[in-house]
A and B are shown apart, each in its own frame.
Chain A
Amino acid sequence: EDQVTQSPEALRLQEGESSSLNCSYTVSGLRGLFWYRQDPGKGPEFLFTLYSAGEEKEKERLKATLTKKESFLHITAPKPEDSATYLCAVPGAGNNRKLIWGLGTSLAVNP
């Protein structure tokens, strides 16, 4: 069964304390992996798409990496404004390519 699992469920960091969020997936024939950021009461905001193992993408303090089984979202020297829920999704194996979503990691960065 196609599945996306994100860990940890919640993470609390001090400002400047770097860490990583994990997204593991069980989908045959990966056709991309998506990272989104969601602030409370708002819609998800697109961050990155990764397509192949070894690929990396960066945006400000965020760097996303991809292996054959999982993706990491590395947060370097986070600031309080990085506090949000980070969601991961992959297209399912079916012909309709419906996105399979994880439950997200809720990140809180304390000043």
Chain B
Amino acid sequence: ETGVTQTPRHLVMGMTNKKSLKCEQHLGHNAMYWYKQSAKKPLELMFVYNFKEQTENNSVPSRFSPECPNSSHLFLHLHTLQPEDSALYLCASSRDVNQETQYFGPGTRLLVL
């Protein structure tokens, strides 16, 4: 595997379900990011991790819970989501948090029913 990978690629869940998104980067980077991409809106930064430590939480609702066990892996745990949370969730990484060139994974397309 190369670059940034994300699983699953597609996810359909009910509002009472609990699911997790997984991201893995094979670039040797130290910073990882979660973004939300919705139609007609710019990319929304959700969380930033630098050397496994969360450095930014962009006022994200608590139904989204990130986890970063090491610099290569990032999870987004989802529970009791709302239909408006349906979107493309993108993971990205960069050499460090001040190195702005971010490399993105393919995303997880999430549909909340």
Contact of A102 with B42 in the complex, beta carbons under 8 Å: yes
Residue A107 at the B interface, CB < 8 A? no
On chain A, the residues within 8 Å of B104 by CB distance are 36, 43-46
Contact of A43 with B100 in the complex, beta carbons under 8 Å: no
Q: Mark A73-108, 1 if CB is under 8 A from B, else 0.
A: 000000000000001010100001111111100000
Interface size on A, residues (CB 8 A): 23
User: Chain A's nearest CB lies how many Å from the CB of B9?
Assistant: 9
A43 to B97, CA, bound (A): 19
A72 to B13, CA, bound (A): 41
User: Chain A's nearest CB lies how many Å from the CB of B60?
Assistant: 14
Contact of B101 with A34 in the complex, beta carbons under 8 Å: yes
A46 to B104, CA, bound (A): 8
On chain B, the residues within 8 Å of A87 by CB distance are 43
On chain A, the residues within 8 Å of B4 by CB distance are 43
* Chain A residue at minimum C-beta to C-beta distance from B58: A98
Contact of A31 with B105 in the complex, beta carbons under 8 Å: no
On chain B, the residues within 8 Å of A45 by CB distance are 104
On chain B, the residues within 8 Å of A101 by CB distance are 42-43
Contact of B42 with A103 in the complex, beta carbons under 8 Å: yes
On chain B, the residues within 8 Å of A103 by CB distance are 40-42
User: Chain A's nearest CB lies how many Å from the CB of B91?
Assistant: 8
A46 to B95, CA, bound (A): 14
Contact of B42 with A98 in the complex, beta carbons under 8 Å: no
Residue A42 at the B interface, CB < 8 A? yes
On chain A, the residues within 8 Å of B56 by CB distance are 96, 98
Interface residues of B (CB under 8 A from A): 4, 6, 40-43, 45, 48, 55-56, 58, 88, 90-92, 97-98, 100-107, 109
Interface residues of A (CB under 8 A from B): 4, 31-32, 34, 36, 41-46, 49, 87, 89, 91, 96-103
Further 13 A-B residue pairs, CB within 8 A, beyond A43-B6, A49-B100, A97-B98: A32-B100, A41-B109, A42-B106, A43-B90, A43-B104, A43-B106, A44-B104, A45-B104, A87-B43, A96-B48, A96-B55, A99-B45, A101-B43
